[in-house]
């Protein structure tokens, strides 16, 4: 399953706001269009928006080819893409790479080709990385137990292909060590109920959707062997920003003696950020909490808070599964070893 398709001069995205009931692909040919799609969460997930932004910048170069001030216009487009979602570090890192390629091309007639070539590298590396994370995670969890609770969506819809935390679950299912997945619905955007369930059903992986507030009950009943989540940004000390509700799961897991794992590529580790206190948290519109698909579920005029992410302290994380290996506390030395 892939939610991103590309060709020179364009990128097509599976509109994830329409899933699971409608399959709608949209094609974009400018950086501004891709930035809007990222902001609107038509494409989401840290690795996926990084790849989408890279192809968006390449498409912009193709669109502007032959115009004056080409490099300057593309730098401006890159800045616009960076602002689309501030928490996920993969977006900025992918654009850092694209900007470096842009600066290194002397012949402006080759800029679009070179940017597209590097966007392809970013996408291909993401797939390889995710499969490596999946295999390492499945090996780590094979003796922990096969009943896994996960939060948000971390699969093919959140990456170029295969997934991070859901990639581990896929590999466990392949290896026969998975028993069942408990899928948090993930309010208010319901990425678990809409997207993770969609992927698991597609592959015949056994699961139950649970409301976010059921996690403590399940753990107290001895129904969960491990929790595994993805990440949007990991600070040098292991503090991890992920979808809102992740921190609560980590606290519950700690209380019940259940291992809590994060699965993420090394591109999600931001060594320039010392701790979670410095991670910017995206604040989304209150209407996404007070309404569901434009239908009000709260009294008219009610106010609501909507931080899209929270930060789980590194001390609550049992281990972080990366493509380079399993990193355990202390994370300040683990990421550089």
Instruction: Give which of 187, 190, 168, 171 is closest to 261, Cα–Cα.
Output: 168
Task: Compute the distance between CA of residue 59 and CA of residue 80 in angstroms, rounded to an integer.
Answer: 14
Phi first, then psi, for residue 186 (nearest 5°) are 70, 65
Catalytic residue of the set 99, 232, 270, 310: 232
Quick one: CA dihedral 309, 255, 147, 266, positive or negative? positive
Q: Do the beta carbons of residue 34 and residue 52 sit within 8 Å?
A: yes
Strands of 309-312's sheet in order across? 269-270, 233-235, 240-243, 309-312
Task: Compute the distance between CA of residue 337 and CA of residue 331 in angstroms, rounded to an integer.
Answer: 10
Query: Per DSSP, what are the bridge partners of residue 27?
Result: 12
Phi first, then psi, for residue 80 (nearest 5°) are -65, -40
Active site residue 232: yes
* Helix or strand holding residue 128 (H, E): helix 111-141
End-to-end CA distance of the chain: 34
* Helix or strand holding residue 6 (H, E): strand 4-7
Instruction: Tell me which residues are annotated as active site.
Output: 232
């Amino acid at each position: 399953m892939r939610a991103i398709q590309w060709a020179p001069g364009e990128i097509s995205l599976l509109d994830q706001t329409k899933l699971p009931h409608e399959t709608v692909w949209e094609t974009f040919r400018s950086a501004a269009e891709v930035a809007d799609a990222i902001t609107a969460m038509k494409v989401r997930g840290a690795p996926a928006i990084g790849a989408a932004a890279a192809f968006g910048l390449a498409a912009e170069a193709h669109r502007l080819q032959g115009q004056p001030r080409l490099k300057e216009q593309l730098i401006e487009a890159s800045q616009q893409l960076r602002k689309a979602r501030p928490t996920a570090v993969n977006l900025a890192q992918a654009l850092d790479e694209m900007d470096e390629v842009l600066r290194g091309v002397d012949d402006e007639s080759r800029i679009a080709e070179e940017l597209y070539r590097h966007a392809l590298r970013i996408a291909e590396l993401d797939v390889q990385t995710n499969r490596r994370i999946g295999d390492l995670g499945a090996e780590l969890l094979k003796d922990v137990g096969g009943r896994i609770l996960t939060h948000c969506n971390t699969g093919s819809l959140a990456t170029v292909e295969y997934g991070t935390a859901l990639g581990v679950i896929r590999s466990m299912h392949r290896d026969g060590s998975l028993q069942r997945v408990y899928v948090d619905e993930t309010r208010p955007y319901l990425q678990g109920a809409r997207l993770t369930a969609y992927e698991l059903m597609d592959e015949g992986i056994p699961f139950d959707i649970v409301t976010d507030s059921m996690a403590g009950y399940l753990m107290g009943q001895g129904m969960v062997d491990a929790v595994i989540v993805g990440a949007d940004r990991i600070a040098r000390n292991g503090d991890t920003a992920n979808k809102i509700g992740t921190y609560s799961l980590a606290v519950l897991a700690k209380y019940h003696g259940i291992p809590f794992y994060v699965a993420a590529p090394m591109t999600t580790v931001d060594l320039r950020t010392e701790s979670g206190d410095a991670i910017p948290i995206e604040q989304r519109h209150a209407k996404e909490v007070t309404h569901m698909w434009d239908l009000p579920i709260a009294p008219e005029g009610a106010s609501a808070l909507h931080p899209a992410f929270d930060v789980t302290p590194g001390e609550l994380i049992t281990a972080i599964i990366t493509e380079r290996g399993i990193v355990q506390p202390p994370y300040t030395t683990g990421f550089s070893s």
